[in-house]
Amino acid sequence: MISLLDIIGPVMVGPSSSHTAGACRIGLFARGLVGGQPESAEVELHGSFARTGTGHGTDRAIAGGLLGFFPDDERLRDSLELAEAAGLRLKFSNTKLRGEHHPNTTRITLRREEHQAVVTGASLGAGRIMINEIDGFAVEVNGALPTLVFVAQDVPGIVSAVTTALARQGENIATIKVSRRQKGGAAIHIYELDQSPSPETLGVIRALPAVSHLRALPRIA
Amino acid sequence: MFESLGELVERAEKDGISLGELGLRLEAEGGLRTRDEVERGLTRALAVMRGAVERGLPGDLRSVSGLVGGDAARLTRPVGPLAGTVFTEVLAAALAVQEVNAAMGVIVAAPTAGGAGVLPGVLLGIAKLRPVPDAVLVRALATAGLIGAVVAHRASLSGAEGGCQAETGAAAGMAAGAGVEMLGGSPTVAAHAVALTMQGTLGLVCDPLGGLVEVPCVYRNATGGAIALAGIEMALAGIRFPIPVDEVIDTMGEIGRTMDVRYRETAGGGLAATPTGRKLAKERLVQLRRKGE
């Protein structure tokens, strides 16, 4: 759902809402997937991101997002230098992603300690984003709400166990999306919540035998 | 929720409220954000817009590449036939915000950064000579947000997808509807102002030199504001555009989808591809790269 504040906003550092603010948010989302500041990130730029990214500061915006800066943070201007100082190794390249992709798309492969993630996201204009792929699973999520992401074996009862854990803490679910590559294979689960989940809830979900790669992402919009 | 401006106008007229008020109510009903949150967000947006106009008017800023800056200041001393009117105030404020944006300053994307000068230009430019309470300006921003949400749903707000008609064009439509409501016009009149404005920006290409949001973007925000003023003036005078506003918006989307990629923010066509455009971009980008080294 779109908010009036998605249109009259974001308040942001210029010059481009899709190439700067949206790119920053994709970086923020990617950071959330590894649970904090990555040590390295490979950033592939596709389409218009590849063609005009440098002039728009797309590289600086994604780097800033990976550092945890929001689109209105004036430090975005100096994020490449700040990343180096913070020990975040960055590699940028232009690419042509296979299949249909929005003109402003980036794929980020990042690592923090034992955590790693590959995320593909598009900047849709006006600072809005859509994450299209996480670790090879097709998804549709935009980070507008606190989000739970995990991988689960395709066995019955996962959704019910997770929703019960959330309900026990009075935590309300806005949307649930499950997608798998094939029947019987692992599926990615994405729960958008009205508030950030409590440590108790995360503990219960993490303890489910079929669940792996649990991540709780803060709201980035 | 924000799918048809025609239906939203009908509903606002039936309930006897403005489009801005309807937008605030619908968003609160939708539950993503409370009314208070949205009003606080719009109030902050208004403050940032004012700050950007003030920051840009003195004329001491230069863009990252050095291609633009200082032109808003020239319009604070206008000498043409429209000097002393709302018209030059709108042009100056729109230029000021866009010069701040090009200098990597803080602005409100409304709906995008590339079109960020139009809405504050029109609303604050008008308010300078016809002062209104802040509450009215905040409500007008809600009106603009509602119109923009419909454009996002039916067409696009991205220059890479739809050309400049989707950025400064959409911004001009939003500003026209918001300007009408700010001046006391009805939702129906506001919708005609949107249609009258956006018919004038159909087909507008996105052709920035070197891909930078500088030339012609800064100036196109000023002319976008001028077209919005034309839409406001015509609609308030009782002129009705024969094609319904939703169909005008759909047309913008259709033109955007079939627009050659050279005209969609890639710097491959239009002014960007002129001999001088290429030369300036090359010079400036070489300098940028040197700066980065």
Instruction: Note the pLDDT tens digit of each residue in B178-204.
Output: 999 999 999 999 999 999 999 999 999
Which of A132-136, A187-191, B65-69, B288-292 is the least confident region? B288-292
Does one domain contain both A117 and A156? no
* Rounded-to-integer distance, Cα B40 and Cα B18, Å: 19
Yes or no, beta carbons of A2 and B153 under 8 Å apart: yes
**Is the model's pLDDT at B288 over the cut of 60?**
no
Phi (first) and psi of residue A20, to 5 degrees: -110, -65
Does A51 contact chain B (CB < 8 Å)?
A: yes
The pLDDT of residue A56 is 74
B71/B30: higher pLDDT: B71
A-chain residue closest to B138, CA distance: A8
Does one domain contain both A14 and A45? yes
Split into its structural domains, chain A has a count of 2
The tens place of each residue's pLDDT in chain A, 221 residues long, gives 789 999 999 899 999 888 889 999 999 999 999 999 999 999 999 987 887 776 678 999 999 999 999 999 989 989 999 999 999 999 999 999 999 999 899 999 999 999 999 999 999 877 889 999 999 999 999 999 999 999 999 888 999 999 999 999 999 999 999 998 877 789 999 999 999 999 999 999 999 999 999 999 999 97
Instruction: Note the pLDDT tens digit of each residue in B95-148.
Output: 999 999 998 899 999 999 999 999 999 999 999 999 999 999 999 999 999 999
Instruction: Note the pLDDT tens digit of each residue in B160-180.
Output: 889 999 999 999 999 999 999
Top residue of B112, B123, B124 to mutate, by most chain A CBs within 10 Å, is: B112
* Rounded-to-integer distance, Cα A215 and Cα A116, Å: 11
Does one domain contain both A181 and A113? no
The pLDDT of residue B173 is 98
Residue A29 belongs to some domain of the structure: yes
Does A219 contact chain B (CB < 8 Å)?
A: no
Does one domain contain both A123 and A153? no
Q: Which of B151, B234, B236 is nearest to B200 (CA)?
A: B234
* Rounded-to-integer distance, Cα A51 and Cα B266, Å: 7
ipTM: 0.95
Which pair of tokens denotes residue B270?
């239009």
Residue A140 belongs to some domain of the structure: no
Does one domain contain both A119 and A44? yes
Does one domain contain both A53 and A127? yes
How close A140 comes to chain B (CA, Å)?
17
* Rounded-to-integer distance, Cα B268 and Cα B208, Å: 9
The pLDDT of residue A83 is 97
Instruction: Give the strand pairing for A147-152 and A211-217.
Output: antiparallel
Number of C-beta neighbours around residue A212 at 10 A: 12
Split into its structural domains, chain B has a count of 1
Q: Please give the interface size between A and B, counted as residue pairs whose CB atoms are below 8 Å apart.
A: 174
Instruction: State percent of chain B over pLDDT 70.
Output: 97
Which chain A residues contact residue B158 at CB under 8 A?
Answer: 18, 103-104, 124-126
Which chain B residues contact residue A4 at CB under 8 A?
Answer: 23-24, 27, 38, 41-42, 141-142, 145-146, 149
Q: Which residues have a Cβ under 8 Å from the Cβ of B235 and sit 6 or more positions away?
A: B176, B180, B185, B189, B190, B192, B193, B196
Instruction: Note the pLDDT tens digit of each residue in B26-58.
Output: 999 987 789 999 999 999 999 999 999 999 999
Buried b (16+ CB within 10 A) or exposed e, B140-166: bbbbbbbbbbbbbbbbbbbbbbbbbbb
Which chain B residues contact residue A127 at CB under 8 A?
Answer: 109, 112
Enter the DSSP assignment of B264: B
* Rounded-to-integer distance, Cα B169 and Cα B166, Å: 5
Does A18 contact chain B (CB < 8 Å)?
A: yes
Q: Which residues have a Cβ under 8 Å from the Cβ of B201 and sit 6 or more positions away?
A: B164, B165, B168, B169, B172, B173, B224, B227, B252
* Residue A216: Cβ-neighbour burial (10 angstroms; 0-12, 13-18, 19+): buried
The shortest CB-CB distance from A52 to any of B44, B102, B267 is to: B267
Which pair of tokens denotes residue A178?
């499950």
Once rounded to an integer, what is the mean pLDDT over residues B63-68?
A: 86
Say if residues A118 and A41 touch (Cβ distance below 8 Å): no
The pLDDT of residue B177 is 98
Which domain range does residue B259 map to? Answer: 5-292
Q: Which residues are registered as beta bridge partners of A45?
A: A94, A106
Sign, CA dihedral A103-A122-A212-A39, equals: positive
Yes or no, beta carbons of B144 and A15 under 8 Å apart: no
A-chain residue closest to B2, CA distance: A2
The pLDDT of residue B287 is 57
Q: Mean pLDDT of all residues in chain B?
A: 95
CATH code: domain of residue B45: 1.10.4100
Residue that finishes a domain, picked among A135, A168, A189: A135
Does A15 contact chain B (CB < 8 Å)?
A: yes
Instruction: Note the pLDDT tens digit of each residue in B263-274.
Output: 998 889 999 999
Gyration radius (Cα) of chain A, Å: 17
The pLDDT of residue B226 is 98
The pLDDT of residue A57 is 82
Which chain B residues contact residue A6 at CB under 8 A?
Answer: 149, 152
The shortest CB-CB distance from B101 to any of A15, A18, A128 is to: A15
Residue A78 belongs to some domain of the structure: yes
Residue A101 belongs to some domain of the structure: yes
Q: Which of B146, B233, B230, B223 is nearest to B183 (CA)?
A: B233
**Is the model's pLDDT at B241 over the cut of 50?**
yes
E strand intervals along B214-277:
none
Which domain range does residue A43 map to? Answer: 4-135
Does one domain contain both A112 and A162? no
**Is the model's pLDDT at B292 over the cut of 90?**
no
The pLDDT of residue B293 is 38
How close B79 comes to chain A (CA, Å)?
30
